[in-house]
Structure 1
Amino acid sequence: MDNYMLAKFIQEQRKKHNLTQEFLASEIGISRPTYMQIEQGERDLTITEARKLADIFSIAFTNFLQGKDSSAIVKIEKSKKSAKETEQEIRISVPQKNLNKFKEVLLYVLSKVGSKPNVGETVLYKLLYFIDFDYYEKFEEQLIGATYIKNHFGPTPVEFKAIVDDMIKKGEIAKVESKYFNHAQKKYLPVRDPDLTKLKDARELRHIDEVLARLSDKNAAELSVYSHEDVPWLVAEDNKPLDYEAVFYRAPKTSVRNYDEQD
């Protein structure tokens, strides 16, 4: 595959996985300007860099060099907008190592706040959303990097169901049907301890703790209202993925970054 086609393939993979140029540049050990040259087809990849990118995208090395996407796909059905529209699918692809990280972050969240009476499935959706999007606003890097779609009740992580079903099957978490103020509630309780080595550093753990301290006492309705005031949700189309880049246009009420301290 020539440089231009491979560059285009890399750019497509980066956007599909909701990764930034800064993140990938850091992961493969080069500067962002140098990485931009790769995406523009102006610089050859070294073997080491190519292997790292293939690993990040969860694509076999030989397939990566040929521009073939062999990453795992998680499918969800998109709800019908009208009787005339046919049923569609949103196809979401997440690097396998991030799926593993999703599991460990979820286990950690459950170990910290899962037993709270207000923390059911809907609250978990919002906590994961703010963990991901707040981290991206503050540090311009992915934490989990999950994909969230806009629905009536707020951002919903599309990978959640497939991951949770797998964890239940493996005995890593338990699902409990309960009620919260006479409303049916799905709760999840951890069966094993989280593997915190999957986190990149102490900053990620500290960030998760900060989000939980700030939001985990809110109920589903309160978090839904709060998420509906967030720019990524406001600008997204119904049943479409939320754009991480939209966090940089947040209003003060939902922003978590002090831009006055920036250069």
Structure 2
Amino acid sequence: VHYIIYKCGFKNTVGRTVIHKLLYFSDFNYYELHKESITNEEYKELERGPVPIHFEMAIKELVDEKKVGLGKRKLPCGKIMNRYFSLKTPEINLKNEERALINKVIKELSHMNGKQIGEYSLRDTPPRKTQYADIIDYDLVFSRKPKDDDKVFVKIR
């Protein structure tokens, strides 16, 4: 979580929802390639797409350790965006291939706002095949079918 916030928390589009989806795509794309997730997190399928179930606990820990700060931003539509920003350089305990994949996900998806990335994530096979409020099975990534007109779900080979 801290690494993703450090890499893209300064972008105007990146709030809680975008970070949720960046974590989801990082974990599930990595799982598709290596049969293991980066974070060992579980994700629930909710209305706006996958949500990591321990996100709030992780953020609280990062805030308590003064590694991450919280902010709010009023959006033109009137909603409030929860913002996170890094106060320290993260301790990076990632393998090179994990970091490369996370960076690729950030590069490909962090330009989207919360609504866009939420809708985008709902088109991915694992969330589509999961009932509302259920835990998303990582093995569902193996039933993804690439579409010629859709460049992702950040396929990294």
Number of positions where the alignment pairs a residue of Structure 1 with one of Structure 2:
151
Which digits, 9 at most, give the CA deviation of each residue in 1:26-50, with x for residues without a partner? xxxxxxxxxxxxxxxxxxxxxxxxx
After TM superposition, list the pairs within 5 Å mapping 1:68-217 onto structure 2.
106-181=1-76, 182-196=78-92, 198-199=93-94, 201-217=95-111
Calculate percent identity across the aligned residue pairs: 30
* 2:143 corresponds to 1:249: yes
Q: Indicate the SS of the match to 1:194.
A: coil
Residue identity in the other structure for 1:208: I
Give the unaligned 5+ runs of structure 2. Answer: none
**One of 219, 223, 239 as aligned partner of 2:117:** 223
Moved over 6 A (4+): none
Report the RMSD for the aligned CA atoms in angstroms.
1.4
Partner Cα separation in structure 2 for residue 213 and residue 189 of structure 1: 18
Distance 1:228 1:111 in 2: 26
- Structure with higher RCO (Cα < 8 A, 6+ apart): 2
Task: Return 5+ residue gaps in structure 1 as ranges.
Answer: 1-105, 259-263
1:148-173 superposed Cα distances (whole Å, 9 cap, x missing partner): 00100100000000111122122111
Which of 1 and 2 has greater Rg? 1
Instruction: Report the TM-score when normalising by structure 2.
Output: 0.90
Q: How far has the Cα of 1:222 moved from its partner?
A: 1.1
Q: TM-score, normalised by structure 1?
A: 0.55
- 2:74 is paired with a residue whose SS is strand
1:257 CA drift (Å): 5.5
Matched, 1:234 2:128: yes
Deviation at 1:183, TM superposition (A): 2.3
Matched position secondary structure for 2:104: helix
Residue 139 of structure 1: CA displacement?
2.1
